[in-house]
C-alpha cells in the first residue's frame, strides 16, 4: 500500500527534528566552516580534512551558542577528527543494524547557523575494507549522490533520525560516503586514548616486481615488492634493506606487491618482524623493526 506523501513528509520532518540538536557548525582550518555532530555529551566528531592541529576551533550549536573546542585527535585514514567541548550536547542516536540498499536517508549539515537536510537513497552498502591512508572501515554506506558543500562531517540519518554514519568526501578520491557508527566509535576511543591512530611503516617506496624463476618456484609465487627508494634513517634503512631488494615475506606473510606490504605494515606499528628478501638473485633473511606514525 502506498504511503501518502504527507505522511512521508511528516516522518522526514520528525527525523530531522530528532537529529538536528546534535548537529553543530565547526570553524577550523583557515576559518573554513564545516559540520559535525555530538557523538557523546562532550565529544564531537567532524571531518579531519577541515580541522587543523594549529589554531583555535569554534563550534556553534543548534541554539546558537558559540563554544571553544579542543582537538583531541585526528585520523587521516578515516577522516575523523574528535573534538572536546566543555558543555553537554545531545548525542546523536546511532543505529545498530546495517543500512539496506534502497532505503531513504537524509544527509544533515550545519554549514551556517541553521540545520540543512538533503534527501537521498542508500545506493551501496560497502564491505569492510582498508582505506588508502591506512584506516579500516567497517561496512559503510554510499548514497546516490554527492554531499552538498559544508555537509562533510555531518551525519547521515535514516527516516527515524538514527545515525548511519558521518558524511565525508576525503576518504576516497571521488567518493562521498558515510563512515559507519562502528568505525566512528572505535576511532574516537583510540583518539581519546592516544590522540592518533598508530600505524606501521618502513620508509620505502616500492613497486611490483617479478621474481627470478628459481625463487618463484621455491616460494610458490612469482611476485614481490621491489624497493626503489628508502628514507635515510628510516626503519628499512636501519634494517639494512637496499634499493633493488625485493621484499617477499614479512612476519610469515607473503608480500606480493605494494598493496600487501602496505596492508601488513598498517597493523604492525612497532613490531619486530622476520622476513625474506631477494638480493642479487639470492633469497636472504632479514629482520625489520617496523616504524610507527600516527
Average pLDDT rounded to a whole number, residues 232-245: 96
Domains of the chain: 5-194 (2.40.10.120), 200-293 (2.30.42.10)
**pLDDT above 70: percentage of residues in the chain:** 98
pLDDT of residue 30: 66
pLDDT of residue 135 exceeding 80:
yes
Report the range of poorest mean pLDDT among 22-36, 209-223, 274-288: 22-36
d(CA 92, CA 250): 42
Average pLDDT rounded to a whole number, residues 152-162: 97
For the whole prediction, is pTM greater than 0.85?
no
Average pLDDT rounded to a whole number, residues 222-248: 96
Express each pLDDT in 95-133 by its tens digit. Answer: 999 999 999 999 999 999 999 999 999 999 999 999 988
How confident is residue 52, by pLDDT bands cut at 50, 70 and 90? confident
d(CA 35, CA 47): 8
Express each pLDDT in 257-282 by its tens digit. Answer: 999 999 899 888 999 999 999 999 99
d(CA 197, CA 191): 7
Sequence-separated (6 or more) residues with CB below 8 Å from residue 194: 73, 294
Q: Which helix (H) or strand (E) holds 207?
A: strand 204-210
Q: Which residue has the cell 551501496?
A: 124
Angle at 269 between CA 263 and CA 274, to 5 degrees: 80
**DSSP per position, 242-281:** -TT-EEEEETTEE--SHHHHHHHHHT-TT-EEEEEEEETT
Measured in degrees and rounded to the nearest 5, phi and psi for residue 84 equal: -115, 135
Average pLDDT rounded to a whole number, residues 191-216: 93
Q: Tell me the sheet residues that pair with 84.
A: 43, 70
d(CA 106, CA 283): 56
d(CA 161, CA 3): 19
Q: Are 229 and 247 in contact (CB under 8 A)?
A: no
For residue 283 the three cell numbers come to 633469497
Q: Are 225 and 247 in contact (CB under 8 A)?
A: yes
SS3 call for 38: strand
Q: What is the largest CA-CA distance in the chain?
A: 74
Report the range of poorest mean pLDDT among 20-24, 189-193, 262-266: 262-266
Express each pLDDT in 60-91 by its tens digit. Answer: 999 999 999 999 999 999 999 999 999 999 99
pLDDT of residue 1: 56
Q: Which helix (H) or strand (E) holds 46?
A: strand 43-47
pLDDT of residue 50: 84
Angle at 92 between CA 21 and CA 167, to 5 degrees: 100
In angstroms, what CA-CA distances link 290 with 68, 224, 272, 285?
A: 38, 18, 6, 16
pLDDT of residue 2 exceeding 70:
no
Amino acid at each position: 500500500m502506498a504511503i501518502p506523501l504527507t505522511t512521508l513528509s511528516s516522518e522526514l520532518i520528525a527525523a530531522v527534528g530528532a537529529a538536528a540538536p546534535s548537529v553543530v557548525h565547526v570553524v577550523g582550518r583557515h576559518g573554513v566552516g564545516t559540520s559535525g555532530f555530538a557523538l557523546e555529551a562532550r565529544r564531537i566528531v567532524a571531518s579531519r580534512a577541515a580541522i587543523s592541529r594549529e589554531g583555535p576551533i569554534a563550534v556553534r550549536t543548534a541554539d546558537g551558542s558559540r563554544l571553544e573546542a579542543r582537538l583531541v585527535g585526528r585520523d587521516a585514514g578515516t577522516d575523523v577528527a574528535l573534538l572536546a567541548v566543555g558543555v553537554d550536547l545531545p548525542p546523536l542516536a546511532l543505529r545498530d543494524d546495517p543500512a539496506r540498499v534502497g532505503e531513504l536517508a537524509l544527509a544533515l549539515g550545519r554549514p551556517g547557523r541553521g540545520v540543512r537536510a538533503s534527501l537521498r537513497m542508500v545506493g551501496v552498502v560497502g564491505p569492510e575494507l582498508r582505506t588508502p591512508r591506512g584506516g579500516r572501515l567497517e561496512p559503510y554506506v554510499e548514497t546516490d549522490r554527492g554531499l552538498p558543500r559544508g555537509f562533510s562531517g555531518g551525519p547521515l540519518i535514516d527516516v527515524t533520525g538514527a545515525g548511519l554514519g558521518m558524511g565525508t568526501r576525503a576518504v576516497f578520491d571521488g567518493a562521498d560516503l558515510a563512515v559507519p557508527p562502528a568505525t566512528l566509535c572505535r576511532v574516537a576511543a583510540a583518539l581519546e586514548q592516544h590522540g592518533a591512530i598508530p600505524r606501521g611503516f618502513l620508509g620505502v617506496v616500492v613497486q611490483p616486481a617479478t621474481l627470478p624463476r628459481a625463487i618463484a618456484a621455491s616460494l610458490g609465487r612469482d611476485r614481490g615488492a621491489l624497493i626503489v627508494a628508502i628514507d635515510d634513517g628510516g626503519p628499512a634503512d636501519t634494517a639494512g634493506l637496499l634499493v633493488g631488494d625485493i621484499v617477499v615475506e614479512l612476519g610469515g606473510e607473503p608480500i606480493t606487491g605494494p598493496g600487501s606490504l602496505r596492508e601488513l605494515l598498517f597493523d604492525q606499528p612497532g613490531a619486530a618482524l622476520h622476513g625474506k628478501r631477494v638480493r642479487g638473485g639470492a633469497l636472504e633473511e632479514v629482520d625489520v623493526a617496523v616504524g610507527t606514525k600516527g
